[in-house]
Structure 1
Amino acid sequence: MLDSTDKAILNLLQQDASLSVADIAETINLTVSPCWRRIQNLENRGYIEKRVALLNRQQLDLGIDVFVFIKTNQHNDEWIEQFYSALEVLPEVLEAYRMSGDVDYLLRVVVKDISAYDAFYKNLVSKVPLADVSSSFAMERIKFTTAVPI
């Protein structure tokens, strides 16, 4: 179970994973050694999966989010393995979910422009048979965070 100090550490790291242990310790009124041990413990217990840098997509000319809705008429292990393998080699897919309801899978794809999405689409459908694919292009990003509520 997480106590309030662990939660404070996790919230700080979600906002800035480059913070030093000393900075975290000072912020939460803890000395460096116990703070370091708590961070190590959180990592060892799986609360911290990894630390990453979030890149500026505009600077990288990757400004379009596409939500791709996929339906399949095949729900066997072989097709699922083929589909999952296809997703692994498509770097444009940032998120993929198996869904309930009318759509079987939802992908969030990031591309430079419509031409790049068209190339992605052709690549995807060449890798795995799909019953239906539809896409919606995000017009504006209103909220984006990687921080989960603790």
Structure 2
Amino acid sequence: MLDVTDKKILNILSKDARAPLKQIGNECNMSPTAVHLRVKKLEEQKIITGSKSVIDTYLLGYQTQSFIGIYFNKANIYRKVSQALYKIDEVVECNYTTGNFSLLVKVICKDNKHLTEVLSNKIQTIDGVARTETFICLEQTFTREIEF
């Protein structure tokens, strides 16, 4: 489905979504117009579904990042709980998992007091949440997209 050039374009864009078409073209030995057509095709195929800016939340005062394992009191409430979690601004990622937890969510808060409020007043009050287990992140060593 994807050729070597498509994969190279995806790798470049995954590192810098604002990379100029000319730069991508130089790295792929093609014109900016040809790159534009390739990117448009990847968007039409839903392989590229958007772009994003990486924001340093720590510099904006959100200095506590945590991962919270959520246990359900019933097995069939995944969608309902996920929808409720989506409404909580501090929850930035939600994953349905195997293992001990039903869900594993990533939460970003200003500090530990803010995290306590989010846990006590928002997450743990969701109907169907039996209990939670919280892991505070001391440092995010790196984050990246997979290479193709």
TM-score w.r.t. length of structure 2 = 0.91
2:82 counterpart letter in structure 1: Y
* Residue number among 106, 109, 132 corresponding to 1:108 in the alignment: 106
| Runs of at least 4 residues off by over 4 Å | none
- Structure 1 position 49, deviation (Å): 1.1
Give the percent of matched residue pairs that are identical in Structure 1 and Structure 2.
24
- Structure 1 position 46, deviation (Å): 1.2
Query: Partner of 1:126 in structure 2?
Result: 125
Matches within 5 A, 1:1-150: 1-76=1-76, 79-121=77-119, 122-145=121-144, 147-150=145-148
- Structure 1 position 99, deviation (Å): 1.3
- Structure 1 position 59, deviation (Å): 1.5
Deviations 1:69-98 (A, max 9, x none): 11112123xx33431221111111111111
Distance in 2 separating the partners of 1:123 and 1:75: 20
Distance in 2 separating the partners of 1:84 and 1:101: 17
Unaligned runs of 5+ in 2: none
Unaligned runs of 5+ in 1: none
Secondary structure (helix, strand or coil) at the match of 2:11 reads helix
Cα RMSD for the two superposed structures: 1.4
Secondary structure (helix, strand or coil) at the match of 1:142 reads coil
1:132 counterpart letter in structure 2: R
Contact kept, 8 Å, 2:82 with 2:94, in 1: the verdict is no
Distance in 2 separating the partners of 1:9 and 1:32: 12
Deviates more, 1:19-28 or 1:5-14: 19-28
1:20 counterpart letter in structure 2: P
Contact kept, 8 Å, 2:124 with 2:131, in 1: the verdict is no
